[in-house]
Amino acid sequence: MQKLKRNERIGAMIKILSDRPNHIFTLTYFSDMFVAAKSTISEDIDIAKSIMESHKLGLIETVTGAAGGVKYITDRGPEAQEKFVNELCMKLSDPERILPGGYLYMLDVLSQPESAAKIGEVLASWFYKSHPDFVITVQTTGIPVALMAARALNVPLLIARRDVRISDGSLVTINYITGSAKRIQTMSLAKRAVSAGTRALIIDDFMKGGGTAKGMMDMMREFSITVVGVGVVIATREPARKLVSDFKALAVLNNVDETARKIDIKPSKWL
């Protein structure tokens, strides 16, 4: 392979790093790929780092030590996050989104790839330091944002199901009570998907009473798994006392007024 110019190395490096967030690439990996000295690669990394920072495109971090190298973190910083969540709240405040019964239509925002990716990145940014081994969500509407959070964290996504399918193999099933409507629900997870002693991050799209999140926490306990955090896209203000005490949300839904056709949704204090 012929020798590459600096801009070629940096361009390829940024693409490779951002294709796999939170994965450590060794300097040897890049020095072999680009047929360049490690000192040259180090200089390239410094330039790539400052490009990403100055354009708020995420962070490039060097990791020292035996398992060291360089990795890309999707965190675009508090300003960009706040701007994005503000826009999201504006979008979700559209009165056209009010459904009969005072529900809020948000399926489109949750499963549009670009917004799902950005939501997932914010959620992930809160839990990097907790080092989860996987993200878990319960079907269906939370799957896209949970997948994007898992992508940003470079961990697998596990999906607990409300229905049971034979192609999942052996399951552990638990019953739980929804926090708001006090109905009994069932949730199952493939036994082979998890192993004891690992660390879970719970992600969901919506939290009202917190019953579903609590159901996932109980399920994790069945598997002897530590829950390192609970992140949701939107939490309702009421009930203030949820079944899960420790969680973070992007936005808080204060009220949906069907008669006045007004939705009151605001970025959360965690931003």
62, 140, 185, 198: which one binds a copy of itself (CB under 8 A): 140
Instruction: Give 42 or 111: the residue with its C-beta nearer to a copy of itself.
Output: 111
Preceding peptide of 140 cis, ω within 30°? yes
Q: Rule CB under 8 A: which of 88-107 touch a copy of itself?
A: 99-101, 103-105, 107
4 CB contacts (<8 Å, ≥6 apart)? 12, 34, 35, 36
Q: Where do the DSSP E strands lie in 122-246?
A: 134-138, 157-160, 171-177, 184-190, 199-207, 226-236
Question: Is 35 a binder of a copy of itself (CB under 8 A)?
Answer: no
Question: Is 232 a binder of a copy of itself (CB under 8 A)?
Answer: no
Contact 225, 197 (CB under 8 A): yes
**Of 134, 138, 160, 139, nearest to 149 (Cα)?**
134
Using CB under 8 A as the binding criterion, the count of chain residues that bind a copy of itself stands at 61
Question: Is 52 a binder of a copy of itself (CB under 8 A)?
Answer: yes
Instruction: Give 85 or 149: the residue with its C-beta nearer to a copy of itself.
Output: 149
64, 167, 245, 259: which one binds a copy of itself (CB under 8 A): 167
Residue 269 is inside which H or E element, if any? none
Question: Is 238 a binder of a copy of itself (CB under 8 A)?
Answer: no
**Of 132, 130, 112, nearest to 233 (Cα)?**
112
Q: How far is the CB of 246 from a copy of itself (least distance, A)?
A: 25
Q: What is the DSSP letter of 154?
A: T
Which residues here bind a copy of itself, judged by CB under 8 A? 6-8, 10-12, 14-16, 18-20, 33, 47-48, 50-52, 54-55, 57-58, 99-101, 103-105, 107-108, 111-114, 116-117, 139-141, 143-144, 147-148, 150-151, 154-159, 161-163, 166-169, 190, 192-193
